[in-house]
Amino acid sequence: MHVVDPRVFLLDKAAQYQPSPHTLDDANALLGTLGIEKMVIVQPSIYGDDNSCTLDGLRKLGSAKGRAVVQFDPDTTSAMQLREWHDLGVRGVRLNFKSVGSELDADLLTATMHKYADAVRELGWVVQLYIALEDVPLLERVVPELGGVKVCFDHFGHPSPASLAAAKTAHDLPGFSALANLLKQGQTWVKISASYRINMDPRHPVVESLCREVVKLRPDRCVFATDWPHTRYDGLNVGPYLEAILDWVGQEGVPLQQVLVDNAETVFDAKA
């Protein structure tokens, strides 16, 4: 989930949208009704590399119930700074190529992944990626070279609307075979989240296929996320989307405890 409060923490100059405030108190009020007590606060793109709002939320939540994923420039961020964040409960770095419209170059992407992996390896952090599923093949060779650093893809890998429209199952989606291969190797995780960002039909058949195939392939490498507060989707009734995901996971015979709790505790180093 995210916390954002433009009243207190100024947005990055390159922010592509102006959100309403969504504070940790708001998150507790809503997510608490779902029985969610432990949260991972993820740095949103609108704050760039200024993690002040995310870290403020993490401090208020506390490391017993909270973890965070930040953004930073590895060329200008010291190992001491990373260690200080680690002690607060930070356990990952997010690279957003999808929602900011980045054009991916294979060589640059490879160099970027190695640079971030080198920065977080000793801390055991995860590198969280928001890229298009069609671009995952660019990483099929790179991820195994990262020296054991965990990699997590946001939102099922997020196939494009065009590839979704042309597909009948997940196996028809460009990039899915690369995602499957990476999952099999065990270093890669997939976030089961925000299916509405892929298609507004809560039970779109290809999205269902994508979810079920990923869960079936590596149930120990799927991480559930609320994606609260559903930025750019103001007023969304998220209930039908959450219900569909829970149904699909259950229909694959995978314990909900594993996908909703256990896997997140593993990848974000949050086991009691």
- Among the listed residues 112, 8, 96, the one whose alpha carbon sits nearest the alpha carbon of residue 54: 8
Q: Is residue 69 one of the residues assigned to a domain?
A: no
State pLDDT tens for residues 227-238. Answer: 999 988 988 999
State pLDDT tens for residues 105-145. Answer: 899 999 999 999 999 999 999 999 999 999 999 999 999 99
Q: Is residue 236 one of the residues assigned to a domain?
A: yes
φ and ψ at 224, to 5 degrees?
A: -75, 145
Q: Is residue 1 one of the residues assigned to a domain?
A: no
Q: Is residue 62 one of the residues assigned to a domain?
A: no
State pLDDT tens for residues 25-34. Answer: 999 998 989 8
Using an 8 Å Cβ cutoff, are 177 and 139 in contact?
A: no
Mean pLDDT, the chain, as a whole number? 95
Query: Per-residue pLDDT for 89 more than 70?
Result: yes
Q: Is residue 251 one of the residues assigned to a domain?
A: yes
Q: Is residue 4 one of the residues assigned to a domain?
A: no
Report CA-CA distances (Å) from 197 to 53, 173, 251: 24, 16, 23
Using an 8 Å Cβ cutoff, are 212 and 248 in contact?
A: yes
DSSP string, 68-130: EEE---TTT--HHHHHHHHHHTEEEEEEE-TTTTPPP-HHHHHHHHHHHHHHHGGGT-EEEEE
Which CATH number fits the domain that encloses residue 220? 3.20.20.140
Q: What is the pTM of this model?
A: 0.95
Count of domains in the chain?
A: 1
Q: Is residue 243 one of the residues assigned to a domain?
A: yes
Average pLDDT over residues 172-197: 97
Q: Tell me what pLDDT residue 101 has.
A: 58
Report CA-CA distances (Å) from 33 to 27, 36, 215: 10, 7, 26
Q: Is residue 55 one of the residues assigned to a domain?
A: no
Domain coverage including residue 113? 93-267
